[in-house]
Structure 1
Amino acid sequence: MLNLYTTDFYAWTQQQANFLRQGKLDDIDIINLIEEIESLGKQQKQELKNRLGVLIGHLLKWNYQPNRRSKSWKYTIQEQRLQIIDLLEQNPSLKPYIEEAITKAYQLGLLLIGRETSLNPKELPIECPYRIEQILDVSFPTDIESI
């Protein structure tokens, strides 16, 4: 079991699923299975934070560079919102984590600003200027449909 886990992860996952289906609980690689299940949960949290980072970065670009707004920015904002909303619907237990995720994601958004614009992230607010409701509101900013 352990050898398959390290040599062919996909085959290991299929083997573990089969053991579970067949009720062969004594054959399950419990240590690695626990680790992988925990890892799946961490991936969902990471995805939420990353998507929020992209969304917040684009909201900042939208607000602080109005003369450079583009169709691409608009659709990135819309796509990330839909993906975040879907992720939260599929994983409602992530909702209590969203405040912390926004705080962490804001730092990612600032990195995006530094990488993709001429703006200096140090000149932007220290904390995220958007409330959760605004971040997830498909009509925010109100001029989003102008492009």
Structure 2
Amino acid sequence: PLEIRQTPDHFAVLTGQGNQWTGSALVLAPRDESENERILVAFGPSGRQPRIRAQWGSANTHRPGVFVCDPAADPLTTGMAAAARTAAWLAYRHAWLPVTTYEVDLQLCRGCGDCEQICEFGAIQLQGEGENRLAWIDPAICQGDGICATSCP
């Protein structure tokens, strides 16, 4: 798209050919393989997005500062609930990374993947191949709960 405009009730997408499309939702797709690769890099080598779970009917998630809207519910009500939660969270909190994050001891890591399987936040990725396969912990996603350290042989 050449330009995307958002109004209170819809999105307007302007194309390079002078066409305009409107809709209540917007889904972006990669233009080519290089853009697709950048998206995959953002989600890790396995292509998995970190899991964000919410309770049924709630805007709250287990990730600090992340609030969701249930697509099956009234969009105005859930959107306002998520916006109110976000405003309240921003008023009393500062953007931060958890103080306690873990790092992989590269001398001890066997690359078995137990930590990747047990991390509920999706913060651990295995990188490399064969004997060079090692775990890596994304500090921006790690919540510092230590479950990975307890599962490490």
Greater relative CO (CA pairs within 8 A, separation 6+)? 1
Range class of TM-score, shorter chain: under 0.3
- From the two aligned structures, give the one with the greater helix fraction: 1
With the length of structure 2 as denominator, give the TM-score of the two structures: 0.22
